[in-house]
Structure 1
Amino acid sequence: MLLQMDNITKKYGEFSANRGIDFSLRAGEVHAIVGENGAGKTTLMRILYGMEQPTSGTIRLNGKEVSFASPLDAIQGGVGMVHQHFMLFPTFTIAENIVIGNEPGSGAKFDRKQAVKIVEGLCDQYGMKVDPRAVVSSSAPGVQQRVEILKVLYQGAEIIILDEPTGVLTPLEVQELLDAIKQLTKQGKSFILISHKLNEVMDVADRITVLRDGAVTGVVEKGNTDAHQLSRLMVGRELMELDRKPITPGEKVLEVANVSIRGTKGKPVLDEVNLEVRAGEVVGIAGISGNGQSELLQVISGLAQPDSGRIAVSGKDVTGKSTREIREHGLAHIPEDRYVWGANRTATVMDTGLMGHQRRLQKGGFLNLKEIRSLVSGWVQKFSIKTGSLETSTQYLSGGNLQKLIVARELEQGTPFLIAAEPTRGVDIGAMETIHGELLKRREAGTGILLVSSELTEILKLSDRVLVMFEGRIAGELSAKEATEEKLGMLMAGGTL
C-alpha cells in the first residue's frame, strides 16, 4: 500500500472534523473522497498535506510512518495538492509559475529560456499541453488547472491531491482533465480526488470513500457501486426526484433590449443582446466561460453599465441605475463568485445574511437584531449550514456552506425576479437537491428566474427555455423539450443546429 492513514481524528475544541478515519491509496490508483459539505474531506487532505496536524492517528508512506509539519515537508515526501481555488501568480507566465521555488539559473539570475524548456519537457512527458510563455491571467481555467498539476509534478509528487478540481471548468475542460488523470495513473502517479460530482467520480475513480459528519460511511470499488448508492451513503437517505410542474408564464420581469458593451480591443463583449424572462419561468443561459455571461449579469444588476440598449426589471427602466436602485425595483441576485460579489470574508455569518435585508429589518434607524438572528438561524437550519455560531467569520466556512448562506439570503428577498448564477457551485448533492427544490418553489410562486450555470445537467433540469451565448451574442434558443446536452454543446462551440 502506497499510503495508509489510520484512525485520523481532528478536533477543534469540542467539534470533531474527522472521527477515526481510515484511508488508503494504492500506487497508480485514483481514490475519490465524496461527502457533503463539512463532512471532513478537505480537513483530512489538509492533514495529509501538512497544513493541519491531526489530534490523533498515524500516516504511513510506503510502510514508513511520517509526520508532515508543513506543505513543504509533504512536497519533499512526494505529496502535492491542487487546491479548489487556484494558487497561481496571475501576472507571471505559465513557465514562471511552474518552476517557482526551484528556478533554473545561476546565482540570482533566473534562466527563463531554461524554464520554458523544462515546461515543454513536462508537457511532452505527461501529455498535458500548455504554452509556457503565456501569462496565467490570460489563460482559460482549464489551462490553469493543468498548470497547477504540472507544478506539483515538477516538484516530484507521486501522490497528487485534487480538491474539487472541476468547479470552474467547462464540460470539454472537465473531460480533458479526467483523461489527463487516467494518462498520469498509467505512468505510475496516484491521485486522491475530492469531488461532489458523482458522474466524474464514476468515470475516473478506482475506489471511493464516502464521508458523513467526519466519519467513513463506506469504502467501495467503483465496479461494485453506482451514483445512486453513493448519494445515499453521502446524505443518509434517498434523494427526491424534482417535479417541474407545467406553468403558464406571466408578465415580463426582465427585458434586455439590444444591449451592447464594447470590449477593450474593439470587439464587443456583449453584442446586441435581446432576451426576456417572464413571471413563473426559469430561463437558462448556457455557454463556455468568457462568452459574455458574466458581463450580462453585471449589466443587468448594475455592476456594469451598457454602452447601448435598454434594461427593464418588473416593467421599470433600470438602464444605468445603481445596484441598490435595481434591487429595490425587484431584483435578487445569487452571484457567480461568492467571494468577489457575494460576501465579505471578515463579516460574520449573521452580517452576511443581513446584506440586502438591512433596510427592511430596522425600525427607527436601529437594526432589529432579534429578528435578524431568528431569520439567519432559520436559514442555517433549513439549508444545513455548518457553522460554529452566527458570530463566526465567513472566512471559516467551507465554500459550499458559504454558498448555501448566500442562496438562502437571496431567495428570502422574495423579489419578482431572481438571477441565479452558478447557484450550486461547490455544494454537495444534498444541498443541491435543496437549492433546486427552493428555486422551483420560487418559480411556482411566480418568480421569474434567470439561471446561468456551467453545469448543463442543472440547466436542463430546471429551465423552461435555454439560451446559449457565444462570443457575446445569443447563439440560439431551445425549449425544455428540444434541449439536449449535444445540441447545447454544439451551440456553445459556435456551431449551428
Structure 2
Amino acid sequence: MTLAVHLDGITKRFPGVVANDEVTLRVEEGSVHALLGENGAGKTTLMNVLYGLYQPTDGRVVVDGTERDFDSPRDAIDAGVGMIHQHFMLVDPMTVAENITLGNEPRKWGGLAVDREQARREVAALSDRFGFDVDPDSRIEDVSVGVQQRVEILKALYRGADVLILDEPTAVLTPQEVEELFAVFEELTAQGKTIVFISHKLSEAMHAADEITVLRDGVNVGTVRGDETTREELAELMVGREVILDVEKRPASAGERTLGVEGCVAEDERGVRAVDDVSFDVRAGEVFGIAGVDGNGQSELVETITGLRTPEAGRIVFDAEEITDWSRRDRIDAGMSYVPEDRQERGLVMPFDLVENGMLGSQHRAPFARSGRLDWPAARDHAESVIEQYDVRPPTADTTAESLSGGNQQKFIVGREFERDPTLVVAAHPTRGVDVGSIEFIHERLLDLRERGVAVLLVSSKLEEVQGLSDRLAVMHDGTIMDTVDPAAVTEEEIGLLMGGEYPDGWDDRSAEERPPDEVATDGEGR
C-alpha cells in the first residue's frame, strides 16, 4: 500500500481547547477517504493542518512519503495538496477560465500580458482530461452550484494537486449534483488522484468512500471500509452509544389552519426579490416541511413569517388573525416559537449566561417577570430545566453562551423554544451542528409537539431529515414553491429535480384529481 498522506500523531491545541489529540490518519494513494464526525469533532482542524492553514502543536505531516513542514497553504499547494472549502472562493463576474488560472495565468509578450486564449485552451484541455462538463467561457454568476464546485476542483488540479481535500462538499448540492460529484471522484481516482472529504452524512460516506475515519472529540475512534460498515456502526462510533437513526411517526391528525402564508413577496438585503408569491398553510398537529438548496429564499421566507423581515406584498395569518405587521414580541406572546438558522446572530446573546438567554423573548412576562421586576429564581429554574432535558454541556446555568460549543448552543436554543408552550414552531435547521444522538432526541421532541397538536414549520437542507419528519413537503427553488408533495409518495430523485428547478417527466401532466390529497398545495395551485 502506497500512502499519499500520513498524519502521524497530530495534536493541535488552541487556548483552552484540544482540537486534535494525537490523531493518526493514513490515506492510500488513488483512494477516496471520508473523514466523518459531528461539528466540533476536529475534522476541519485536522485538514487545515494538512493544508498548511494551521501548524500542528505536535506530530508529523507526511505527503507522498516525504515529511513536510507547511508554514502556509502555498507550501501545501507546492507539495501537491489542494483544498476546496465549503464556501467557494470564486469571483462571480469572471469566467470559468479566468477563475481557474487566477494568479497563475499564462503570459505573452515577454510576460507583459495575460494570454487569455492560452488560458482558455489549458482549462478546456484539463476539463476534457477529467471528463468535466465545464465551459471555460461561462461566467461564474451564470452557472449552477455544482458547476462552481467543479471549477474549484479544476482550480486545484491546475495548480498541480494530487491530493484533494473537500470540506462538506455536498452541503449545497441537490441529490443529482451529489451523484455527479461522486462520479467526478471516480474519474479523479482512476487517474491517480487522492481525495479526502469531510462529512457528517453517514450514507454519503458509505457510498463514496473506500475508507472512513471517524473523529469524536478530537480523537480518531476508528477507520472502517466503506463497503463493510453500516450506518448504525458509524453512528455509534460518532456518538459513543447505540443510536436509532430512522424516524418513526404515527399518521398525522391535522386540525385547523394555524399558519397561513398568502402571496408572500420579500426582498433580500440587496433589494433582490428572494421570495416570489409564496402561499401555503400549516395545520395544527402536522409537520410542514420546506426543502431546497440553501439560498433559494428559505431564510427570507422564515424571517418574514417570524417578524424579522417586512414583506413587500402578501399576508401572514396566525390563528385566524392577520399578523403581517406584528412585532417579533407580539408573535412570541401569541404562541410562535422560532429556532433560527443562525444561532449566534439570531438565537443567543453570546456574552449572556444561560439564565439570561433562557428567558430571551419572554423576559417581560410571567413566569420571568412579576409586577414589572425580573424573577431571577424562576429564570434560573427554567434554564436548569432546559439544560437537564436537552443535555446541554457543561450543565451549568452560569455558563455564558459564547463558551459553549456550537452543538450545545443549538441544543439550548431548541430547548428554550420548544418549552415555550407554543401553538406554532418555526424550526430552521434545528439539528445543524449537533451530534447524531442529539439529532435523534430533537426529532423525537418535534414529533411530540406534533402529537400535542402544535403546528410545525420545518426548514432543513438535510433532505433525509425533512422528508422523514414532514407530513407535507414544499420544495423551493429560486424564491418560489415548485410544488407541495407527499414526502412518503415521492422519490429523492424527484425532490432533487424540483430543488434544481426542474419537474420530473410527466409531472406537469397530472391533474390535481390524479394526485394524492397531501401532494396538492393548499391553495389549489399544485402543478
Q: TM-score, normalising length from structure 1? A: 0.85
Aligned to 2:27: 25
Q: How does 1:68-467 map to 2 (within 5 A)?
A: 68-90=70-92, 92-105=94-107, 109-137=113-141, 139-240=143-244, 241-260=246-265, 270=275, 272-287=277-292, 292-336=297-341, 350=354, 356-360=361-365, 390-391=399-400, 393=402, 397=405, 400=407, 403-467=410-474
Which ranges of structure 2 fall in alignment gaps of 5 or more residues?
511-527
Residues 90 and 340 of structure 1: CA distance in aligned 2, closer, same or farther (over 3 Å): farther
Partners of 2:215 and 2:221 within 8 A in 1 = yes
Deviation at 1:313, TM superposition (A): 1.7
RMSD: 3.6
In structure 1, give the amino acid aligned to 2:306. Answer: S
**Matched position secondary structure for 1:172:** helix
The 1:134/1:88 distance shift into structure 2, 3 A limit, reads: same
Structure 1, residues 302-349: CA drift from partner, whole Å, max 9, x if none?
A: 3444444321123221124444444443333334455775568x7567
Secondary structure in structure 2 of the residue aligned to 1:119? helix
The answer as to 2:88 corresponding to 1:62 is: no
Worse-matched range after superposition: 487-496 or 441-450: 487-496
Question: How many residues are paired up?
Answer: 493
Structure number with larger C-alpha Rg: 2
- Superposed CA deviations along residues 67-110 of structure 1, whole A, max 9, x for unmatched, are 21222221221112222333344555444433333234466755
Contact 1:208 1:221 in 2 (8 A): yes
In the superposition, relative to structure 1, how do residues 229 and 303 fare at CA in structure 2: closer, same or farther (>3 Å)?
same
Structure 2 CA distance for partners of 1:128 and 1:338, relative to 1, 3 Å: farther
- SS state at 1:300 partner: helix
Q: Residue 211 of structure 1 aligns to a residue in which SS?
A: strand
Aligned CA distance change for structure 1 residues 472 and 13 (closer, same or farther; 3 Å): closer
The separation in 2 between residues aligned to 1:315 and 1:174, in whole angstroms, is: 42
Instruction: Give the TM-score of the pair, scaled to structure 2.
Output: 0.80
Question: Structure 1 residues 309, 38: CA separation in 2 closer, same or farther (over 3 Å shift)?
Answer: closer
Residues 301, 323 of structure 1: 8 Å contact kept = yes
Deviation of 1:465 after TM superposition, in Å, equals 1.8
Secondary structure at 1:84 match in 2: coil
**Alpha-carbon distance between aligned partners in 2 of 1:39 and 1:281, rounded to the nearest angstrom:** 34
Q: Is the 8 A contact 2:427 2:457 kept in 1?
A: yes
Aligned residue number for residue 53 of structure 2: 51
Q: Is the 8 A contact 1:401 1:427 kept in 2?
A: yes
Pick closer, same or farther for the CA change 1:450–1:337 going to 2, 3 Å. same
Deviation, structure 1 residue 364: 8.0
Between the aligned partners of 1:141 and 1:463, the Cα distance in structure 2 is: 26
1:468-487 map, 5 Å: 468-469=475-476, 473-479=480-486, 481-487=488-494
Q: Give yes or no for contact 2:266–2:301 (8 Å, CA) kept in 1.
A: no
Secondary structure of residue in 2 paired with 1:244: coil
5+ unaligned residues in a row in structure 1: which ranges? none
Residue 306 of structure 2 contacts residue 328 of structure 2 at CA under 8 Å; is this kept in 1? yes
CA 1:483–1:48 in 2, change beyond 3 Å: closer, same or farther?
Answer: same
Cα deviation digits, residues 143-180 of structure 1 (max 9, x gap): 33223222222222111111211112211221111111
Conserved? CA contact 1:31–1:207, under 8 Å? yes
Which moves more between the two structures, 157-166 or 353-362? 353-362
